[in-house]
Structure formats: C-alpha cells, structure tokens
A = this chain, B = another copy of it.
Amino acid sequence: MMADADTVSSSDVGLPPGTLRYTGEKSDGPVKITILDYDEAGLTEKTVQRVEDCFPFKEKPTVTWVNIDGLHEVDAIEHIGRHFDVHPLTLEDIVNTGQRPKLEDFDGYLFVIFKMFYHDSDADHLKTEQVSLLLGPTWVISFQEEEGDVFEPIRQRIRNAKGRIRRMGADYLAYALVDAVVDNYFLVLEKIGERVEDIEEELIADPSPETLHVIHRLKRELIYLRKSVWPLREVIGGLERAETMLIDQKTGIYLRDVYDHTIQVIDTIETFRDMVSGMLDIYLSSVSNRMNEVMKVLTVIATIFIPLTFIAGIYGMNFAHMPELDWWWSYPLVWLVMAVIAVAMLIYFHRKEWL
C-alpha cells in the first residue's frame, strides 16, 4: 500500500479515459451501502444491497449521506454515477486508488479525494486508504476502500442530534467527514511521535544497525504522509474559497478551522522530519564514537605491550657475550623497567585522555 510505483498498473495504459477499473486490493465481499437521510426533524438510516435503493433520496430536500465501503464492484459505482450525473473521469478517479488528494468542481457537484491513514499496530506500520466524497445540493456520497470506523462518531452525532449537524446542510456534513479524516491524522501522528521517542531512547541507550533501519522506515513513512497531506491543504483551502452555491457561507468558518488543523498536521510532519534527520546524524556519530573508543582501547593495549615484548626479545637473544644475562639483578631489574615503562605509558595516555 506504501508502494507508489504500482498506482497505475501496466494493464491500464492505453485504455480510453473514463474506463473504470479498480486498482486497489481485490476483495470478494459485497460492497456495503449505508444510507443516512436526515433533517432537523427526523432521521432514516438503512443498509441496502442494491444501489438503486439509494436513488429515491437524490431528489428529497432532506440531507442524504450515502456511504459505500468497497470499490471493487465497479458496475455498482458506475450505476450510481449515472444516476447522480457524475462525470466518467470522476468515477475513474474514485476506483483508481492511486490518486493524489484533489478537489474538483463539476457542474452539480464537488468532488473531493483524499487519503486516510491507519496505524496498523500488528505490523507497526502505516496503512492507507483512499476516500472520495461527492457533494451535491442535498446529498453526500462517500466512497471508502474498506469498512472503517472513522466516520462512526459522525453517525452517532447525527443519530443523537448532538451538535449542529442535524440543523445544517449537506455541505456541513461534507465538512464533518473531512474534519474526521484530518482529526484521524493527529492520531497517526501521535503514534509516530511515540515511535520517535522510542527511537531516541534506543539511540542513547543502545544504537544498533537495526535502529538505522527503523529510522529509515520512519523517514519513508513521513515522506509518504507528507506527500498525502500537502495537497490536502490545497484541497481544503480550495473548498474554503470555492465559488460555488454548494457551500454555504456559514460552513466556510468551519472549513477555515479544518484548514488550520491541516497546517498543524503539516507542521508536525515537518518537525518529525527534522527530528528524524537529526537522529540519523546522532546515530552515525554515536556509532562512529563507540567504534573509535573500542579501537582506541585496543590500540592502547597493543601499544603498551609492544615495547615490553621488544625488551623481552632483547634478552632472548643468544649472543655469547651479553654481560647482563649473568648479573644477579638483571631479571628483577628487567621486570622493574617493564613495569615503569607500562605505568609511564598508562599515565601518559591517561593524561592525554586517550584512556
């Protein structure tokens, strides 16, 4: 899912534009369609099997939210698209999961596409999913690759008539969905923050080549996250400024709020990136420091013994005329000399702080 290169697979090339082909992970389960239709007075909620069941809601004055989990049933999506007058290129983007976050303003609807991230705690890495929104005058259609629970709190709010969501239009619903996704980014960043702290402790306590790989994986996930969030900023900024009847003046102020959150997400990602590249420096210099310490100690040991071995070598020579060999005090004296040399070197190395 993190691999970018396969977003457009070779089999796609040469197809006419507007051809629908799902490019995400294949799934066999049925597409799940849930409908929430509400206004201040009442609420209808149902899960349907056939896409046709959501058609009647299009013309109703109440706000309708159609949520579709699973993009592999391309026919169903095409069917919805035709009924809601969605442009074929939009449908192509919805099922092609390699899209960059973007906002497009079509006649009759706004089309927003972005990425949702989950922290997969089993594999300890990021999972990503593409979410698309279609905002019409009285309806919002959301498409997800898999069933997720990020939108569940919004469903609850609608059911409980909590907050202002039941009193406002489809644009506010779209805002609420985008807001839920952006808030979810903070969760992901929190997890990453924890990993950053873990790595930093590991770096001080016990840096290993494994640490380096963890740092690089983190760096890469940040590259990927950044790539998904930067364009989101433009998307939300675009929503805020959009000259369209579909978004009410009153919702604008809420969009500005999500916009601020997005910038905060970007800021945090950039800070993490700075931290991670600082970590790499610390890792490299601490590994090299430790290595240097080891080599220094070993070399000091060798350096102390080499002159001593030389002295021993001297008196191991077999010359006939070596007067010292016959002296009584020679042997203890040699030991003494050696001890003096060794101690002198140790003191010298210690003073020079080589030990």
Contacts and interface: CB of A to CB of B under 8 A. Distances in A.
Interface in A207-246: 209, 212-213, 216, 219-220, 223-224, 227
Nearest to A292: B291
A157 B16 contact: yes
Nearest to A258: B17
Contacts of A79: none
Interface string A278-289: 101110111111
A11 to B, nearest CB: 10
A306 B307 contact: no
A315 interface: yes
Contacts of A326: 320
A337 to B, nearest CB: 12
Nearest to A185: B8
Contacts of A260: 93, 99-100, 102
Contact of A308 (B87, B212, B310): B310
Interface in A33-49: none
Interface string A333-345: 0100000000000
Contact of A162 (B16, B176, B190): B16
Interface string A134-160: 000000000000000000111011000
Given A5-B189, A299-B299, A315-B317, A274 B183 contact: no
User: Could you say which of A89, A289, A319 has the most chain B C-beta atoms within 10 Å of its C-beta?
Assistant: A319
Interface string A252-296: 011011001101100110111011001011101111110110111
Interface string A99-120: 1101010000000000000000
Nearest to A204: B213
Given A5-B193, A305-B310, 17 more contacts: A3-B193, A4-B193, A6-B193, A89-B254, A98-B264, A99-B260, A102-B260, A223-B271, A294-B296, A298-B300, A301-B307, A308-B310, A312-B317, A313-B316, A319-B325, A320-B325, A322-B331
